[in-house]
Amino acid sequence: MRSKMNQLLETQRNVHVLYAFDGAETYAQQLLNYIDEGIHAGEYILVVENERMTRELKPHLEERYTEKQLKLVQFVNSLHFYWSSGSYHPPAIHEYFTKTVAPYIENELSFRSWAHVEWESVKEPLFLIEDFEKIADRAVDEYQFPLVCAYEKKKMPLHLTESLMKTHPYVLLEDELIASPQYQSVSNQA
């Protein structure tokens, strides 16, 4: 059975999804499903993930897929991705992302992305996260690719949750994909 996300991706490529997860096991299963659907669609999958989770996922992937299929999956260290400039700086993150996806875009290769968004503490200025998500939403529209942004629910204060609902047109709830009623298109704000 195809997931609701996969059904949506058959008709629309510029899909930006918020996934607020509870627990590492559920999170890992959702990510493995997303990778599986990407591999079966013949797409490249760019996964921005921490080293610990990457180490946990790789054996599962190596059991399931051929070497050729595994070449479709590219892991990017989330620490390098989000902190490439030494701090959480949205323009630097955008630049790092643009360089990472350039080969897919230049060669017209279909790809999807999953980004585990995490930070040391909630002391980070949360407006920076909203700024980054607005940049990400524009990139999803510009490059026509699906992006899931995964946040650990217990680390999301209410004002961050509200902000993220405004910057993601879709929300993934364990087995359901819904439209965000609070979404505010960045193209309408330009």
Residues of the chain with pLDDT under 70: 1-2, 85-87, 119-125, 187-190
Task: At 122, list the tokens.
Answer: 């909630």
Instruction: Count other C-beta atoms under 10 Å from residue 57's C-beta.
Output: 18
Residue among 107, 108, 119, 97 at smallest CA distance from 48:
97
What is the predicted pLDDT for the residue at 136? 92
What is the predicted pLDDT for the residue at 189? 52
Is residue 92 within 8 Å of 85, Cβ to Cβ? yes
Gap between the Cα atoms of 93 and 17, Å rounded:
18
- pLDDT tens for residues 146-155? 999 999 999 8
Q: Indicate the pairing of strand 111-116 with strand 73-77.
A: unpaired
The domains of the chain are located at 4-189
What is the predicted pLDDT for the residue at 190? 46
What is the predicted pLDDT for the residue at 187? 65
What is the predicted pLDDT for the residue at 126? 75
Question: Is domain 4-189 classified as CATH 3.20.20.100?
Answer: no
